[in-house]
Structure 1
Amino acid sequence: MAKIRVSYEYSEAEDKSIRLGLFLIVCGVVSLFILGFCWLNPTLQNMQCKSANCTVISVQQNGEMFECPFSCGADCRGTSLYPCLQIYVNNSESNSKALLHYNEQQLVMNPKCSYIPPCERDNQKNSEKVLMLQGYWTEEISSQSFTCFFNRHRRPDDVLLMNSHDDNVLLHCVLWPLVTLLVGALIVVLTICTKSLAVRAEAIQKRKYS
């Protein structure tokens, strides 16, 4: 009876290991599928951005005000206003006028403006941040060329100051799901090999005592 009980417990442990391995394999495959649509495709598109030299043409506020959401605590949320700063630059690659944006996220959030400040509850503070940046670009950068990024096919009239997606994002999109998938496969293979060795050892032991 003791031998039967040990064998049953061992078989149950094997089943749990196999189920865990299969669960990890499924998680890895699903993660690859989801990240492929959510991160990999946008990253590959963004990696088509080319670097260029940009020079400032004009720095101005166009008079429009836009809303931004702020949070000052668990029950303190709302929207405030910030002025629209537009920094127009000359793109050396296409030799054309383009609107500069800090990164692609800000471009998507507000394609009309070059900068979205960290949102404060006080509209005046938002205006001061934008005015400070306007002065910096007017006085410090206006006579200098700097590296910018553009995508001729997606947004030929816009350039980015920061290329937010890079090879690291692509690496993480693929690496961690693959690690999960490989660990799951390794657990399943090791469990099957252990079971096979146990069966052989039991058969050899039976031959000895038969």
Structure 2
Amino acid sequence: MRKKSIAAFYQDLAMSCSSKTCRIETTNIYQKIRDHDLLDKRKTVTALKAGEDRAILLGLAMMVCSIMMYFLLGITLLRSYMQSVWTEESQCTLLNVSITETFNCSFSCGPDCWKLSQYPCLQVYVNLTSSGEKLLLYHTEETMKINQKCSYIPKCGKNFEESMSLVNVVMENFRKYQHFSCYSDPEGNQKSVILTKLYSSNVLFHSLFWPTCMMAGGVAIVAMVKLTQYLSLLCERIQRINR
């Protein structure tokens, strides 16, 4: 009995030691799995953090670009649009069209090279249907800024004959179509009309549309990233509370 008890004791001790060894090995395995999961989680968090940073930088870059475009359009197109007084669309009837005189101009012939030339001055007088006034017609708002005596100014070039031929074509078109739409000053301060508006509301809308889309896209990207970060933190807090 004593021998059996001693043998049983050693057997139980061996089983106990093997059980402890198993427990240690199991603990080590669980620890390795946990460490591996933590490493994967850290890698995932790092990758997500880098992606979020890039997305925020993209959104901020889009917003900065749209602000710069707004600034450039504001000092060019929007300013000219606000200064334009020819806002009322009217009907004009041709009264007289003729080439009155020639003016000197300069054209570029290369880097730091300018040469003198001439262009013919076309004058077009029309009758404004709404008021019955005789007014000088300009091609665009810029035509009046270049030369207030001319209704149409061809591009300055070295060949005067080409400019004269182009002006003759324009003159024949006016004689062919004597009734046409034009734009006048509703206040009556500007004693002239224009044929084509460079700075219309339609042009302004299309010019501001794309910067606005870029601004909206940048704001949306930054907002979505911040929302994702907030929801992630909220989810972690809920998990900690449940534990």
- 1:28-107 matches, cutoff 5 A: 28-46=66-84, 49-67=87-105, 69=107, 78-107=115-144
How many residue pairs were aligned? 205
CA distance in 1, matches of 2:76, 2:198: 15
Question: By how many angstroms is 1:187 displaced?
Answer: 0.8
Contact 1:32 1:173 survives alignment (8 Å) = no
CA distance in 2, matches of 1:154, 1:166: 19
Question: By how many angstroms is 1:191 displaced?
Answer: 0.7
Higher relative contact order (CA 8 A, sep 6+): 1
**1:79-132 deviation digits (Å, cap 9, x = unpaired):** 531111111222233332221112223232222211122444311221222234
Contact 2:86 2:183 survives alignment (8 Å) = no
Where does residue 180 of structure 1 map in the other structure?
A: 214
Opposite residue 166 of structure 2, the aligned amino acid is: K
Q: Aligned-residue CA RMSD in angstroms? A: 3.1
- 1:6 and 1:79, CA in 2 relative to 1: closer, same or farther beyond 3 A? farther
Opposite residue 220 of structure 2, the aligned amino acid is: L
Contact 2:102 2:118 survives alignment (8 Å) = no
Q: Which structure: greater helix fraction?
A: 2
Where does residue 149 of structure 1 map in the other structure?
A: 183
Contact 1:52 1:93 survives alignment (8 Å) = yes
Where does residue 8 of structure 1 map in the other structure?
A: 46
CA distance in 1, matches of 2:72, 2:81: 14
Q: Which stretch of the first structure deviates more once superposed, 155-164 or 1-10?
A: 1-10
Opposite residue 102 of structure 1, the aligned amino acid is: H
TM-score by length of 1: 0.78
Stretches of structure 1 lacking an aligned partner (at least 5 in a row): none
TM-score by length of 2: 0.69
**1:36-86 deviation digits (Å, cap 9, x = unpaired):** 332224224547521222222322222232325366x89997453111111
Stretches of structure 2 lacking an aligned partner (at least 5 in a row): 1-37
- 1:113-152 matches, cutoff 5 A: 113-138=150-175, 140-141=176-177, 144-152=178-186
% identity of equivalent residues: 30
**1:151-194 deviation digits (Å, cap 9, x = unpaired):** 25586222112233333212123322221111111111111122
Higher Rg of the two aligned structures: 2
- 1:137 and 1:107, CA in 2 relative to 1: closer, same or farther beyond 3 A? same
Opposite residue 17 of structure 1, the aligned amino acid is: A
Q: Which structure: greater strand fraction?
A: 1
CA distance in 1, matches of 2:83, 2:97: 29
CA distance in 2, matches of 1:169, 1:110: 24
Question: By how many angstroms is 1:133 displaced?
Answer: 3.1
- 1:64 and 1:48, CA in 2 relative to 1: closer, same or farther beyond 3 A? closer
CA distance in 2, matches of 1:177, 1:136: 38
